[in-house]
Structure 1
Amino acid sequence: MTDRKLALEAWESLFRAQHELFTEMNTDFDHTDLGQAEYDVLLTVTRSPGMSARLRDVTANMLISQPSVSRLVDRMVARGLVAKCPDPDDGRGALIRATDAGVREFRSVATVHGRSIAERMSRLDDAELRTLRDLAEKLRGR
C-alpha cells in the first residue's frame, strides 16, 4: 500500500513545482497579443489534423470550465485567430479551425515559449525528463 505521508509530500512538491514554473513562464506572454489560455487553444488546434479540433477536445485540454472555453473561443473568433463551425459528426458540437493569422500568432509565441520551457526544464537531464514525462502520463491514467 502507498505511504500516505509520502504521497502527500510528492503531490505537494509536484503541485508547487508546476505552479512556480507556470508563474515564471507566464512572462513569455508579456509582450505578445496572445494570452496563455489563447495559446493553449491554438496549441490544441494547430496540433490536430487539418488544424481543426472539436470544441470538446479543446476543452478537455484546458484548465478552465467548458463555458469559459466557449467564451474564450468566441473572443478568438472575433479577433480572427480561429474560425468556428458546426461539427458534421455531432449536431451539438463545434469545430475550431486555426486561421492563418492565428497560426502566425501561435508560431511567433511558440518559438519563445518553447525556448523558455527548454531552459527551465534543463535542470533535468534527458533520462530524468523521460522519467518525469512517463510518470506524469501514468498519473493522468495513460
Structure 2
Amino acid sequence: MTDRHLAVDAWESLFRAQHEVFEQLRVDFTDTDLSQAEYDVLLTVTRAPEMTARLRDVTANMLISQPSVSRLVDRMVARDLISKCPDPDDGRGALVRATEAGASAFRRLASEHAANIAERMSPLSDDELALLRDLTAKLRRPKPDTDC
C-alpha cells in the first residue's frame, strides 16, 4: 500500500517543480510571434506527418478545455499560422495543418526554447532525465480498474 504522506509530499514537490520551471520558461514567449498556447498547437501539428494533425489529437495534448482549443485554433487560422479542414476519415472531426508562416514561426522559437529547457533541466543527469520522463509517463497512464 502506498504511504499516503509520502505520496502527498511527492505530489507537492512535483507540482511545485512543474510550476516553477513553467514560470521560468514562460519568458521564452515574451516579445515573440507566438503565445505559449499557439506554440503548443504548432508543436503537435509540426511533429505529425505532413504537418497535419487531427484536431482531437491537438486537444488531447493541450492543458486547456476543448472549447478553448477550438477558439485558439480559429484565431490561429485567422493569423495564417494553421489551416483547418474537415477530416475525410471522421465526418465530425477536423484536420489542422501548419502553414509555411506557422511552421516558420515555430522553428524560429523552437530552437531557443529547447535550449532553455535543456539548461533548466541541466541539474539532472541524463539517467535522471530518462527516469523522470518514464515516471511521469507512468503517472499519466490511466489507473487500471480494480473493481470486479
Fold conserved between structures, TM > 0.5: yes
The percentage of aligned residue pairs carrying the same residue is 73
Counterpart for residue 77 of structure 2: 77
Gaps of 5+ in 2: 143-148
**2:94 matched residue in structure 1:** 94
Q: What's 2:124 paired with?
A: 124
In the alignment, which residue of structure 1 is the partner of 2:32? 32
Runs of at least 5 residues in structure 1 that lack an aligned partner in the other structure: none
TM-score of the superposition, structure 1-length normalised?
0.98
Offset, 1:70: 0.3
How far is 1:140 from its partner? Answer: 1.0
Which residue number corresponds to residue 141 of structure 2? 141
Let me know the Cα RMSD of the aligned residues. 0.8
- Structure 1 stretches of 4+ with a deviation exceeding 4 A read none
Paired position in structure 2 for 1:68 = 68
State the partner residue of 2:44: 44
Equivalent-residue separation in structure 2 for 1:127 and 1:16 (angstroms): 22
Equivalent position amino acid for 1:58 in 2? V
Deviations 1:12-34 (A, max 9, x none): 10000000000110100112010
> How many angstroms apart in 2 are the aligned matches of 1:126 and 1:108?
26
Q: Deviations over 1:73-132 (max 9, x none)?
A: 000000000000000011111000000000000000101100100000001011110110
Tell me the equivalent position of 1:18.
Answer: 18
SS in 2 for 1:31: coil
Alignment partner of 1:32: what SS?
coil
Give the paired residue count: 142
